[in-house]
Structure 1
Amino acid sequence: MPLGTLDRTPPPFFKQGPSALTKLVFFSALALFLMVADARFTLMRPLRAGLATALYPVQWMVIEPLRLLQGGSAYVEGLSSLQAKADTAQRQLAAQSLRAGQVEQLTLENTRLRQLLELRAHITTPAQTAEVLYDAADPYTRKLIIDKGVTHGVVAGSPVLDGQGVLGQVTRTYPMVSEVTLLIDRDQAIPVLNTRTGARSVAYGDPTSYGGQLELRFMAGNSDVQVGDVLTTSGVDGVYPVGLLVAKIAKIERRADSAFARIYCTPVAQISGARHVMVLQPVASQVADVPPPAPVVAPKKGAKK
């Protein structure tokens, strides 16, 4: 057969149809058309709704076992947590009942002793409430501004408390507002008493620690202190009344190369979240002045002895 008469077209088995570029252009145009039509006329919404309805049983069969497993584990964990909380509440209730009985007994003994010794209360503590306006702008101090000042009877040195314990001390007064320096400020110090041992010490502010704490300085390495000891005001400074909650001992570092232990305490008061506070009068301003001694009358000359 001559070469010019040969059929050069591929057999039907190898025919590829339209070219790849043609398919790309066609399907791209179709996809763009469908997107525009769906965005403008929501043509695909019924189709999506039908597919979602048809696939819902499959989704339910896949998700429901996981939900049941998660719900069962959450129920078991919640039951265990509630049981632990109930046990803790029972123990706390028993401890509070015991403490209440001890407090009543101590109060009765104190009253009887005062009656026996004919003592009377010389100090009363006037107080007034105030609201925290804002934190002081100085980033190197820990101070608050309250809405009570000199016109309200606030004086410098007044103790400031929140609902939990001692918050700080008024260090500067203005006619309508006052500046309160918090316990954790580096320039603050407060005499404290360990309620477990009765030992007195001084707690200094330590703002560099995490969240701000107090530090008991100059405590011997073998001093009787334990984590969890409660510290209250000792009242020896003439500023804070006796028995106000101050802090709890959180960490003790006893080092062999130092004669003193490093004792860190966590304040009981809400240092960073106080909104309403109570301002007390300093104790020194409430103590009555000591009456002057009676003059000694010299005996007259010539008087019979």
Structure 2
Amino acid sequence: MDFQTFLQQFVNALSLGSLYALIAIGYTMVYGILRLINFAHGDVFMVGGYLAFFGISSFLIPWWLAFALAIVLTTAFGVGLERVAYRPLRDSPRISIMISAIGASFLIENLAIVLFDARPKAFPVAEFFAKNYVIGGVYVAGISLLIPIVTAVLLAVLLWIVNRTKTGMAMRAVSTDIDAARLMAIDVNRIVSITFAIGSALAAIGGIMWALKYPRLEPLMGIMPGLKCFIAAVVGGIGSIAGAVLGGLLLGMVELMTVAFLPELTGYKDAFAFILLIVVLLVKPTGLLGKNQGEKV
């Protein structure tokens, strides 16, 4: 492989890894506060892509407005999901809320098949995102350049919220001890709703950018990306925002660079995520940036 081809693959891997990181943050934020794996997160990602699609193709509104509306509606959908499927079980055993999350995932997927039709749809990509650029002899798609920039900006905003605002301080308090947070007059329900809102908004943005990069929509499109982003969160250290970003970038690099160097393994590229997960957990069970945490029963 020559250096030019290596740079081409590196840019593609950075773009994919940034997408994984963006979606993995939603997993890690919810787990950090509720110790809950939101298995429906990948389906929220799918809903964001479909809402943007219908906004452009059915209602004929400009792409930027369709994207904004899709993010807002997906955020509301994620908050509603928390209130209906998770909040009533918050004080129940962990297995109950986990089963509810799995059930919610199956329900959303099958409702999407009924409402959106099971046949794949081609996502309309605006000319702004379809441009290609030549940088140092390397052909780079505009969306591949945009994704890491958007991810970096959103990560900076999120870290500012978590570390510099009262809401972020309350999030960290609830994450440390939810019962003590209640005693300190923190509105736990409000903080959890805000967390789901942020995670759902990030999933919607991830779903839209995924559709721009891979312009094909189907009701089950969130399953594999959702699973891989969960793996990325675990690899980086679930509960750590920085860990989710590191895990997502690492997963994207391993997945695409391995295929680039060993093209005969292209058919097995989805397996690399699971191999990476096994290797990291064998070496460091808490993930690369994770810390040992007591688990409530």
Indicate the TM-score class for this superposition, using the shorter chain for normalisation.
under 0.3
TM-score (norm 1): 0.20
Between 1 and 2, higher relative CO (CA 8 Å, sep ≥ 6) is seen in: 2
Task: Flag the structure with higher helix content.
Answer: 2
TM-score (norm 2): 0.20
